[in-house]
Structure 1
C-alpha cells in the first residue's frame, strides 16, 4: 500500500497525463476555454477597478464598508473563477475537471471568509463610530471581537473545505462542539460581561458622560470597559459595576430628558371666598406663563382635605438641565406666595378644634366660661 505522498504523486501524474492528452488531441477546444477564462478574468478586474473608483478609500458609512470588502478580494479568487469558467465551456477530462472544481471550492471558501470577516468587523466599527469615548471602548474590545470572529469564520470555512474535498468531518464537528461547550462554561462570566459591553456599545442605552439612575443610585458614566463600567456617584466616589449586573437593573438615562414635569400641591384655608377659589386656576396659569423655559399643563381643585382646600398645579420645564428645573420651580413657588398675599389667600396648615359638651350632650361655647370669668372679676 502506498503512503499518502505516493498516492498524491500518482494522482498528480494521472491528472498531468490526462491533461496532456486532452491538450494534444483537442487543442482547439482548450484554446477556446483559455480564451473564455482570460475574458472572464479581465472583466472581473475591470469590475474591481470600477468599484475602487466609485468608492474612495476615505469613504464613510456603507461606502467605506463596500470599499474595504472590495480591497479584500483576492487575485487567487479571480483566477479560480476564470479557471472554472474555462473548464465549464471546454469540458476537460475528469481528473482535471475535479482539480479545477477543488481549486474553485477552496478559493471561494477563503474569499467568502474574508468578505464575511470584513463585513462583520466593518459593521461593528460603523455602529460604534461617531463618539470618541465609544471609539476608545471599541478599540479595547476589537482585539477580543476580532479573535472571536476569526475563530468562528475560519473554523466554518475549514470544515466546509474538508467536507467538499470528501473528508469525513463528523468527528471533527463533534469534538469542536464538546470543546466549545467546555470553554463556554469555563469562561461564562467573562463572555457574559463582554457581550453586555458590546450591547452597551451598540444599543447605546447610555454613553460616557451621561448621568444615569440605577438601583436607587445616581451617577455619571466615566468609562465603559470590557467587563465593568465605572460610574462617578453624586457623593464623589467611583462605583465599579459589572456590565451584566448593570444591565440586569432598570437604568434611567437622565441626560436624555427633554422636559421635566413639576407637580405642586397647594392647600388653602376653608374660609377662602368662593369667587377667589374659582379664580385660582387662572392665577396659577398666569404665574407659570410668566416664567421663562416653562410650559403650563393644568391647574385644578382636587378635593377637600382634612384642614385645607387642595389644588394641584402641573407644569413642565422645557430645558432639561437640572439647575434650570430647580430655578424655575423656585421662581414659580415665590410667585405663588406673592400672588396669594395680594389676593388675601392664606395657606392652610394642620389645625384641630376642640369642643366641650354638657352632661346632657349639648355643645358648650368655649368662650362662655371665659366671658363669665371676666365679668366676675
Structure 2
C-alpha cells in the first residue's frame, strides 16, 4: 500500500496528489461551515444595534463562495507540488482569479446593502438623497469592478499601462457608438446633481403630469394621475420645460365672472365687495382683488384673483366650488344674472327701399319699382 502511494504521477507522488485533493475539499467544507457559524453569530449581534454597518458586513460575509475559496486554495499547492511551469502558472492564475473575484463580491455586497438601506431610509425623509444614492450605487459598482479587473490583470502579468492606453483609443469609438446611452447617463447625473425634481415630486412635462416614481440611469419613470407609468428619456427631461409643483406653497387663482348688460351700475358697484366677502369666508383662501375688467361681447366681465394657502389641488377645487355656489346664491338674491353668449340683431327702416330689377342691356321689360 505504501509503495503504491509512492507512485509518481506528473512529477509528484500519488500521496501528494491525494493530500492536495483532500486539502481542497477540506478548504471548501470548512468555508461552508465557518460561514454558517460566523454569519449566524454576527447577525444576532447586528440585530441588537441601531447602525447598519454591521448588517452590511453580515451581508458581505454571506456572499462567501466555497468554489472561490477552493480556487484560492490552489495557491499553496503550487508551492508544495512539483508542477510543470505551464501548470503552475495556470494554478496560480486560477487562485488569483478566485481571490480577486471573492474580494470584489465582498466589497460589492457590502456597498449594495449599505446603499440600499440608506436609500430606503432616505425615501421616507429625504427623497433628494435617495435620488443621489441610486446613481452613486451604479458608479460605486463600476469603479469597484474596474479596480478589481485592473489589479487582477496586473497580478496575472499583463501590462496594465498599455491596456489603459488601448482602452482610451477604443473608448472614443465606443463613445461615438453609444452616445445616446451615454447622453442619458450624463443627463441622469445632471438631474441628481442639479435636482430639478426628485422622487415623489409632482411634475408636468409637455402636457403629461404625474409623480416621479424612479430616476434611473437612462430613463425616468413617472406615475401619471390616471395610474399608468410614463417613461421619459433623461436627455429629453433635461431639455424639456418642466413644472415642479412640489415646492409650491401657495396657489394663485384667477377667474372671470360675466353678468348681463342690463345690470344696474349700483349693482355692479356692489359685486366686488360681495365677491370679497365670499372668498374671505373660506378658511384656506386669501382674497387679493376683484374688478370690473372690461365690456365683453355679451357680458360685463369681472376679474377675480385670490390665493390658496395650500398647494393641495383637492382643497383648491373644494374652495372654488364653495365660492361658485356662494356667488350664485348672492347674485340670485340681488337679482343679478350671469351672462351667456348672446347676439342681438336690430333692423330699423325710415322708409321704403328702392329696388331695381336689372336685366340684359336694352331689355324693354326692365323697370324700377318701389
> If the TM-score is normalised by the length of the shorter chain, which range does it land in?
0.5 to 0.7
Task: Report matched runs for 1:366-377 at 5 Å.
Answer: none
- Deviations 1:1-55 (CA, angstroms, capped at 9, x unpaired): xxxxxxxxxxxxxxxxxxxxxxxxxxxxxxxxxxxxxxxxxxxxxxxxxxxxxxx
Cα displacement (A) at 1:206: 1.7
Aligned residues: 233
1:212 to 200, 203, 206: 203
Task: Report matched runs for 1:1-377 at 5 Å.
Answer: 130-131=122-123, 138-146=132-140, 177-358=168-349, 360=351
Structure (1/2) with the larger helix percentage: 1
> Secondary structure in 2 aligned to 1:356?
coil
8 Å CA contact 1:262–1:329 kept in 2: the answer is: no
Once residues 282 and 259 of structure 2 are traced to their aligned partners in structure 1, the CA distance between those partners, rounded to angstroms, is 23
Once residues 275 and 173 of structure 1 are traced to their aligned partners in structure 2, the CA distance between those partners, rounded to angstroms, is 86
User: Unaligned 5+ residue runs, structure 2?
Assistant: 1-50, 52-110, 149-160, 354-370
- Deviations 1:150-193 (CA, angstroms, capped at 9, x unpaired): 79999xxxxxxxxxxxxxx9x99975653332232233222222
- Deviations 1:292-316 (CA, angstroms, capped at 9, x unpaired): 1001111111111122211111111
8 Å CA contact 1:213–1:253 kept in 2: the answer is: yes
Once residues 314 and 174 of structure 2 are traced to their aligned partners in structure 1, the CA distance between those partners, rounded to angstroms, is 51
Pick closer, same or farther for the CA change 1:140–1:210 going to 2, 3 Å: closer
Pick closer, same or farther for the CA change 1:315–1:350 going to 2, 3 Å: same
Pick closer, same or farther for the CA change 1:148–1:181 going to 2, 3 Å: farther
Q: Which moved more, 1:199-208 or 1:323-332?
A: 199-208
* TM norm structure 2: 0.53
Pick closer, same or farther for the CA change 1:357–1:327 going to 2, 3 Å: same
User: Unaligned 5+ residue runs, structure 1?
Assistant: 1-57, 59-120, 155-168, 363-377
* TM norm structure 1: 0.52
> Secondary structure in 1 aligned to 2:192?
helix
Once residues 278 and 271 of structure 2 are traced to their aligned partners in structure 1, the CA distance between those partners, rounded to angstroms, is 11
Pick closer, same or farther for the CA change 1:320–1:361 going to 2, 3 Å: farther
